[in-house]
């Protein structure tokens, strides 16, 4: 809607137009057609053109954004607003759905995040935005539900925690909802974005795993002071050394060899006894004379 208004000055013309249209300055675009001039005889009034801005809903604003984004991504798709009541639903119509969805939905998930940011600009409360293509979201949801039930049965059978692959918040919410009413398992999210994942925990969890689960925080890491297993060089758990008992037999008084000054066989208190445990000398019965001590020279 375009309307032309006049006044003595540009501001007077704009004010007259806003009053006539019952709008504010933020609701219109102003184009000055002619500025007012004073002449010797009379004056020329100012002339402006007011164009009412198109008011878009949050969903329409997101669709307008995607219309400019998709060609930049090389995606031959047309965005259409499907619903805007409880959540904003945008359908991408394309002949090649795989090129728009990407591997495991990486491309369409990124498009959905950007569309959600645009739709919620200026809003006080966040409104969920879903971008779909070729019924991908519904099929993916059914697949995740089947995976959740299958892995829950496995966790109960083994009595151990089962960890799923990293997922975005939307897919993690599907896993939590699928197992929310289960009487055998419960779920929780661990890790940090973008590698946050869901863990399925059976209620018949084994004792060791239960203690390990209590020691873990929301990020999946051990809390400070939690029990940690001792591991060896190659990751295997170290076994405690076996306790060895010392022999109860007392050592012999002498072995026949000594380094004492007196030359008398026996132990010296606080010194080296000279006991070697095995005699390595001659096997003959003849007595071998003792060698002189190193501290006392032989008498000439």
The pLDDT tens digits of the residues spanning 28-47 come to 888 888 887 776 666 788 88
8 A C-beta contact, residue 5 and residue 16? yes
Determine, yes or no, domain membership for 268.
no
Same domain, 45 and 76: no
Same domain, 16 and 81: no
Q: Which tens digit of pLDDT belongs to each residue from 98-143?
A: 888 988 888 999 999 999 999 999 888 999 999 999 899 999 999 9
Residue 94 bridge partners (DSSP): 77
For tokens 């974005």, the residue is 193
Pairing of strands 88-94, 129-132: parallel
Determine, yes or no, domain membership for 295.
no
pTM of the entire predicted model: 0.55
Same domain, 31 and 85: no
Domain that holds residue 63: 58-134
22: left (phi over 0), alpha (psi -120 to 50) or beta: left
Q: In CATH, what number is assigned to the domain containing residue 196?
A: 3.30.1370.50
Q: Which tens digit of pLDDT belongs to each residue from 202-255?
A: 988 876 655 566 656 555 565 555 455 555 555 555 556 566 665 655 555 544
Determine, yes or no, domain membership for 72.
yes
Nearest-angstrom CA–CA distance, 29 and 278 = 111
Residue 163 bridge partners (DSSP): 199
Number of domains observed in the structure of the chain: 3
Domain endpoint, select from 134, 165, 187: 134
Domain endpoint, select from 179, 214, 249: 214
């Amino acid at each position: 809607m375009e309307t032309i208004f006049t006044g003595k000055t540009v501001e007077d013309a704009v004010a007259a137009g806003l009053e006539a249209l019952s709008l504010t300055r933020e609701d219109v675009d102003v184009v000055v057609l002619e500025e007012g001039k004073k002449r010797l005889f009379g004056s020329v009034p100012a002339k402006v053109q007011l164009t009412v801005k198109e008011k878009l809903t949050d969903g329409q604003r997101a669709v307008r954004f995607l219309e400019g984004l998709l060609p930049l991504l090389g995606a031959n798709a047309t965005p259409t607003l499907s619903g805007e009541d409880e959540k904003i639903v945008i359908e991408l119509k394309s002949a090649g759905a795989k090129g728009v969805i990407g591997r495991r939905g990486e491309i369409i998930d990124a498009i959905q995040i950007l569309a959600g940011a645009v739709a919620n600009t200026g809003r006080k409360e966040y409104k969920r935005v879903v971008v779909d293509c070729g019924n991908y979201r519904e099929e993916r949801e059914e697949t995740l539900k089947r995976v959740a039930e299958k892995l829950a049965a496995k966790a109960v059978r083994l009595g151990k925690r089962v960890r799923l692959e990293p997922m975005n918040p939307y897919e993690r919410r599907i896993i939590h909802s699928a197992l929310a009413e289960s009487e055998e398992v419960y779920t929780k999210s661990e890790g940090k974005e973008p590698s946050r994942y869901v863990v399925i925990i059976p209620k018949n969890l084994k004792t060791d795993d239960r203690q390990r689960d209590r020691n873990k925080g929301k990020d999946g890491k051990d809390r400070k002071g939690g029990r940690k297993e001792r591991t060896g060089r190659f990751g295997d758990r170290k076994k405690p050394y076996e306790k060895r008992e010392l022999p109860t037999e007392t050592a012999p008084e002498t072995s026949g060899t000594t380094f004492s000054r007196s030359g008398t066989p026996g132990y010296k208190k606080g010194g080296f006894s000279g006991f070697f445990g095995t005699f390595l000398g001659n096997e003959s019965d003849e007595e071998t004379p003792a060698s002189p001590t190193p501290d006392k020279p032989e008498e000439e």
